[in-house]
């Protein structure tokens, strides 16, 4: 029963993919989208069913399909593990996935390759489910690579634009760098534990068996490199902002809510290993904090609505990694969930705006949309409040918990994370004010066409806005349902936070910080009615920020250019020399042949002459030799 | 037989056969007529035969002369075959000028 349910859960999106690939062009556009949506909805319903079952029994379900490979005493099974963590991920992957599929039916309605779009989306969901429910690292790796592939396909979905193709390639290559780390980590773990199975590894760790901590530390560091590729952390984060080249639903689904959280999922899955290597945890925490600050800085001055959201995603992911590094896995998971709600809502809202403006993404040409797009505005406002950390909205609880952990563990990281949160509040309200307030700054023609988006677009927005509002209550401070729910995936008992004076003080500081950020945004963009400068007029530090700290340029100069230089050196010198030698051999042979051909001129007289001369020479030589020797 | 060598001297025979051999070589190299070339080859052959006979006498050993008989018999057979080939060539190209036989040039 459970096996067939799980297989349905897994294969429904795959069936949707196959249908849309092979028959998508033959059926009408709506059918194609509807089937894609239903496929994911089926998965969601089954996930819900599993969720209630697990929530009651508290027993993880292990489904072993068959043995995949066996090498000496190392074996890998093709099996799935449904426990508290994977089901949580399943719920929001398939749940938000369903909403975004619904949204896409309308958003992509006029695209000529609609069926391909839904095929890719379904394939993505399929791989994401594989990643989440795989019971060992290799199964996870299948999904890991698969979502990378789908991400590539969807970023480059509008393949006629070369810039989009470049963005897709960039994402793929950056991910590959991380994947290499992940693979090396898997190999080391396989040799340390003789297994890549999560349950087995956890048992080994729990039994207190001695493990080579040096190698384990190296393995966890490699795994973190893999995670930082997938989840866009320094130094591999630059692909995520460029990934906004894809259609907006893709940005919402893959590059905000689901795929980019795969790194966090993996580290949470292997929490028992990371707990053994505090040095690596420290690296994770520092990188997370720095990423969140750097990305927040860059987001301050971006003018592309999706770019702001992309950097905000990087920044929020950085906060999650900070929590992971501090060992607060359940808080990271909590922030993943709330972030999935409000960031999906924000992206879909920005998609709704872009849709209304026929593809315009520059906030300097927006403004005043509040009057024309009521539903989008309200949902966007709610999600913005949530991400800024205003109380009762979901983001407040999760972000506050991260800050609280940071405060208790490491005050420097707390300051960095708080700064990042304040900046988050600022740039999100800057985005909100520039987009929805004041007067419309676009062309007259655009103004004429301004309209609220269709129901299929606004419905997911409303659902996500509601979730962004109430989502925080799953881990209410002091009475956390989530912490209790997730407890079985950790080793040992975890202390519960107590509400005390410090907690309330930190909450107060966080809220005041957010309000300061909002206040600055208000005074700049509402009171003073500022509009960001044209590209050419940006100067000073904001120019550095606007150009994203020139990180792309630095990577270009430090990594890409030298590789090109080596390549052109090899091509121009080494290859020229080698091929010159090889071709030279051929040429010499050819010349000898051509010249030598003249000897075979067919004249018997000449042959005889050569023959006599040769014989005479031999005899002369023998005589001379003989007499000289004497 | 001893007196023959005493009267003329063995070195004169050697000179004679060298001259004959050289005549043969130059005949082969510079004449274009296949029959003349054949004759030149026979002269070379006989120069060698002469030398064999002379040394046979000089060493008082008859086997050299026996060897010459064989050599002459083989040469006769070879001439028969060679002339037959020449007749064949003549029938094909109506000439026995060897410069015209260039079909095998590279």
CATH code (residue B31) = 1.10.287.3510
Could you tell me if residue A567 is inside a domain? no
Give the three-state DSSP class for A276.
coil
pLDDT at residue A31, as a whole number: 87
- pLDDT of A220: 93
Report yes or no: A321 and A291 within 8 Å, Cβ to Cβ.
yes
Domain termination residue (choose one: A476, A506, A533):
A533
Confidence (pLDDT) at A494: 64
- On whether residue A367 sits in a domain, the answer given is yes
Per-residue pLDDT, A424: 92
- Helix/strand/coil percent split, chain A, to 5: 75, 5, 20
Condensed to tens digits (0 to 9), the pLDDT of residues A477-501 reads: 777 888 888 888 887 666 666 667 7
What is the total residue count of chain A?
630
On whether both A257 and A367 belong to a single domain, the answer is no
Query: Which of A605, A607, A609, A614 to mutate: most B Cβ within 10 Å?
Result: A605
Compute the Cα dihedral for A102, A485, A472, A410 and give only its sign.
Answer: negative
**Residue A385, Cβ neighbours under 10 Å: how many?**
26
Tokens 């309330």, residue located: A504
Range(s) of the domain holding residue B68 = 2-100
A555 in a domain, yes or no?
Answer: no
A486 and A622 assigned to the same domain:
no
User: Which tokens is A250 given?
Assistant: 């893709």
pLDDT of the residue at A263:
92
pLDDT band of residue A447 (cuts 50, 70, 90) is: confident
Q: Which token pair is B88?
A: 């064949």
pLDDT at A506: 85
* Statement to judge: residues A215 and A329 lie in one domain: no
* Contact across the interface for B105 and A601, Cβ inside 8 Å: yes
Q: A308 and A238, same structural domain? A: no
CA distance A617 to chain B (A): 15
Question: For A109, which DSSP code?
Answer: T
Residue A132: pLDDT band (50, 70, 90) is very high
**For chains A and B, what is the number of CB pairs under 8 angstroms?**
31
CB contact under 8 A, B25 and A600: no
The model's pLDDT over A79-112, given as tens digits with 9 standing for 90+, comes to 999 988 999 999 989 999 999 999 999 888 888 8
Indicate whether A8 belongs to any domain. yes
Shared-domain flag, residues A288 and A436: yes
Residue A264 placed within a domain: yes
- pLDDT score recorded for residue A498: 65
Q: Do B106 and A599 touch (CB under 8 A)?
A: yes
Q: Across the interface, do A600 and B28 touch by the CB < 8 Å criterion?
A: no
Q: Do B106 and A605 touch (CB under 8 A)?
A: no
In this prediction, residue A365 carries a pLDDT of 84
Among A333-337, A438-442, A556-560, the least confident range = A438-442
Q: Would you call A612 and B103 a contact, using CB atoms and an 8 Å cutoff?
A: no
What is the widest separation between alpha-carbon atoms in chain A?
Answer: 121
pLDDT score recorded for residue B3: 64
Same domain? For A207 and A318 the reply is no
- pLDDT at residue B98 is higher than 90: no
**pLDDT of amino acid A496:** 61
Split into its structural domains, chain B has a count of 1
Question: From chain A, which residues contact B within 8 Å (Cβ)?
Answer: 597-605, 608-609, 612
Question: What is residue A497's predicted lDDT score, i.e. its pLDDT?
Answer: 61
Query: Which residue among A208, A241, A268 closes a domain?
Result: A268
Specify burial of residue A457 (Cβ count, 10 A radius: 0-12, 13-18, 19+): buried
pTM of the model: 0.79
> Among A218, A250, A268, which residue terminates a domain?
A268
Q: Answer whether residue B67 shows pLDDT above 60.
A: yes
Q: Is residue B36 within 8 angstroms of chain A, CB to CB?
A: no
Please list every residue in chain B whose beta carbon sits closer than 8 Å to the beta carbon of residue A592: none
For residue A76, the cross-strand partners are A69
The residue-averaged pLDDT of A327-344 equals 91
Q: Is residue B93 part of a domain?
A: yes
Is residue A56's pLDDT more than 70?
yes
Would you state the pLDDT for residue A99? Answer: 93
**Best-predicted range by mean pLDDT (A201-205, A380-384, A480-484, B30-34):** A380-384
ipTM of this complex prediction, to 2 decimal places: 0.82
Closest residue, chain A, to B105 (C-alpha): A602
DSSP conformational letter for A197? B
Q: Per-residue confidence at A180, pLDDT binned at 50, 70, 90?
A: very high
Q: How far apart are CA B106 and CA B104, in angstroms?
A: 6
Rounded CA gap, B105 and B97, in Å? 16
Q: Point out the residue among A597, A601, A604 whose CB comes nearest to the CB of B98.
A: A604
Q: How many of the other CB atoms lie within 10 Å of CB of A49? A: 14
Per DSSP, the residues of chain B read: -HHHHHHH-HHHHHHHHHHHHHHHHHHHHH--BHHHHHHHHHHHHHHHHHHHHHHHHHTT-THHHHHHHHHHHHHHHHHHHHHHHHHHHHHHHS--BGGG--TT--
Count of Cβ atoms closer than 10 Å to residue A426 Cβ: 24
**Residues forming a β-bridge with A66:** A78
How many Å separate Cα A442 from the centre of its chain?
33
Same domain as A281, residue A260: no
Same domain, A67 and A20: yes
**Residue whose tokens read 């729910």:** A485
Q: Do A141 and A78 share a domain, yes or no?
A: yes
How many domains are there within chain A? 3
Picking from A244-253, A602-611, B53-62, which range would have the lowest pLDDT averaged per residue? A602-611
The verdict on residue A385 lying in a domain is yes
Exposed / middle / buried, residue A456 (Cβ in 10 Å: 0-12, 13-18, 19+): middle
Residues of chain B in contact with residue A599, where contact means CB-CB under 8 angstroms, are 106
Average pLDDT, chain A: 88
Residue B105 sits at the chain A interface (C-beta within 8 Å): yes
Q: By residue range, what is the domain housing residue A629?
A: 599-630
The answer to the question of residue A562 being in a domain is: no
Task: Please report whether residue A543 resides in a domain.
Answer: no
pLDDT-derived band of residue B105, with 50, 70 and 90 as boundaries? low
| Yes or no, beta carbons of B106 and A601 under 8 Å apart | yes
A91 half-sphere exposure, CB direction, 13 A CA radius:
19
* B30 lies in some domain: yes
What is the rounded end-to-end Cα distance, in angstroms, of chain B?
54
B22 φ/ψ angles, rounded to the nearest 5 degrees:
-65, -40
Whether A164 and A247 map to the same domain: the answer is yes
Residue B106 located in a structural domain: no
Residue B105 falls inside a structural domain? no
What pLDDT, on a 0 to 100 scale, did the predictor assign at position A495? 63
Candidates B98, B100, B103: best to mutate against A (most CBs of A within 10 A) is B98
Q: Give, in order, the Cα–Cα distances in Å from A584 to each of A323, A579, A590, A593, A598.
A: 64, 8, 10, 14, 22
The reported pLDDT for the residue numbered A28 is: 83
d(Cα A343, Cα A313) in Å, to the nearest integer?
7
Q: Alpha-carbon distance A368 to A378, whole Å?
A: 13
pLDDT band for position A338 (cuts 50, 70, 90):
very high
């Amino acid at each position: 029963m459970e096996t067939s349910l799980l297989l349905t859960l897994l294969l429904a999106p795959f069936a949707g993919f196959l249908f849309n690939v092979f028959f998508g062009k033959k059926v009408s556009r709506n059918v194609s989208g509807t089937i894609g949506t239903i496929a994911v909805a089926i998965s969601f319903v089954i996930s819900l069913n599993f969720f209630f079952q697990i929530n009651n029994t508290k027993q993880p379900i292990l489904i072993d399909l068959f043995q995949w490979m066996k090498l000496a005493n190392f074996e890998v099974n093709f099996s799935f593990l449904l426990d508290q963590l994977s089901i949580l991920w399943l719920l929001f992957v398939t749940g938000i996935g369903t909403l975004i599929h619904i949204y896409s039916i309308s958003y992509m309605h006029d695209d000529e390759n609609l069926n391909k779009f839904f095929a890719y989306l379904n394939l993505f969901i399929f791989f994401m489910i594989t990643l989440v429910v795989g019971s060992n690292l290799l199964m996870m790796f299948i999904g890991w690579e698969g979502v990378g592939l789908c991400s590539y396909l969807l970023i480059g979905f509008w393949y006629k634009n070369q810039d989009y193709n470049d963005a897709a390639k960039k994402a793929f290559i950056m991910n590959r760098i991380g994947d290499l780390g992940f693979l090396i980590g898997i190999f080391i773990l396989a040799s340390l534990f003789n297994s890549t199975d999560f349950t087995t590894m956890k048992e080994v760790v729990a039994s207190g068996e001695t493990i080579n901590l040096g190698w384990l530390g190296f393995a966890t560091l490699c795994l973190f490199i893999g995670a930082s590729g997938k989840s866009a952390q320094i130094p591999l984060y630059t692909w995520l902002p460029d990934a906004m080249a894809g259609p907006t639903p893709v940005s919402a689904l893959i590059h905000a809510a689901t795929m980019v959280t795969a790194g966090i999922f993996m580290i949470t899955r292997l929490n028992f290993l990371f707990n053994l290597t505090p040095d690596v945890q420290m690296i994770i925490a520092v990188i997370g904090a720095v990423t969140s600050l750097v990305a927040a800085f860059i987001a301050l001055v971006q003018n592309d609505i999706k770019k702001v959201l992309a950097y905000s995603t990087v920044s929020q992911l950085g906060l999650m990694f900070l929590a992971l590094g501090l060992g607060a896995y359940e808080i990271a998971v909590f922030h993943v969930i709330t972030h999935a709600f409000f960031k999906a809502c924000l992206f879909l809202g920005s998609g709704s705006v872009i849709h209304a403006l026929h593809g315009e993404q520059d906030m300097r040409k927006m403004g005043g949309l509040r009057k024309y797009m009521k539903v989008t505005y309200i949902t966007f406002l709610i999600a913005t409040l949530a991400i800024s950390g205003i109380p009762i909205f979901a983001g407040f609880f999760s972000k506050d918990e991260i800050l609280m952990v940071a405060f208790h563990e490491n005050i420097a990281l707390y300051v960095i994370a708080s700064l990042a949160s304040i900046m988050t509040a600022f740039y999100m309200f800057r985005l909100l004010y520039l987009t929805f307030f004041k007067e419309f700054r676009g062309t007259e023609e655009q103004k004429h066409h301004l309209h609220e988006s269709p129901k299929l677009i606004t419905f997911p927005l409303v659902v996500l806005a509601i979730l962004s509002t109430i989502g925080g209550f799953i881990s209410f401070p002091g009475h956390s349902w989530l912490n209790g729910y997730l407890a079985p995936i950790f080793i040992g008992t975890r202390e519960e936070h107590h509400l005390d004076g410090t907690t309330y003080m930190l909450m107060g500081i966080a809220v005041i910080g957010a309000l300061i950020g909002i206040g600055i945004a208000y005074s700049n963009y509402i009171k003073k009615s500022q509009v960001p400068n044209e590209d050419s007029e940006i100067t000073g530090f904001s120019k550095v920020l606007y150009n994203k700290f020139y990180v792309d340029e630095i990577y270009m100069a430090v990594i890409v250019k030298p590789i090109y230089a080596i390549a052109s050196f090899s091509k121009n010198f080494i290859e020229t020399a080698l091929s010159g030698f090889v071709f030279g051999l051929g040429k010499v042979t050819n010349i000898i042949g051509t010249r030598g051909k003249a000897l075979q001129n067919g004249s018997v007289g000449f042959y005889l002459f050569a023959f006599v001369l040769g014989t005479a020479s031999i005899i002369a030589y023998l005589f001379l030799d003989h007499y000289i020797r004497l | 037989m001893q007196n023959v060598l005493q009267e003329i001297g063995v070195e004169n025979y050697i000179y004679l056969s060298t001259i004959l051999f050289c005549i043969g070589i130059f005949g082969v190299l510079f004449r274009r007529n296949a029959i003349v070339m054949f004759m030149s080859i026979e002269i070379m052959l006989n120069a060698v035969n002469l030398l064999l006979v002379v040394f046979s006498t000089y060493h008082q050993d008859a086997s050299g002369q026996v060897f010459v008989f064989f050599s002459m018999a083989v040469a006769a057979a070879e001439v028969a075959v060679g002339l037959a080939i020449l007749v064949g060539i003549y029938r094909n190209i109506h000439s026995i000028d060897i410069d015209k036989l260039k079909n095998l040039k590279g």
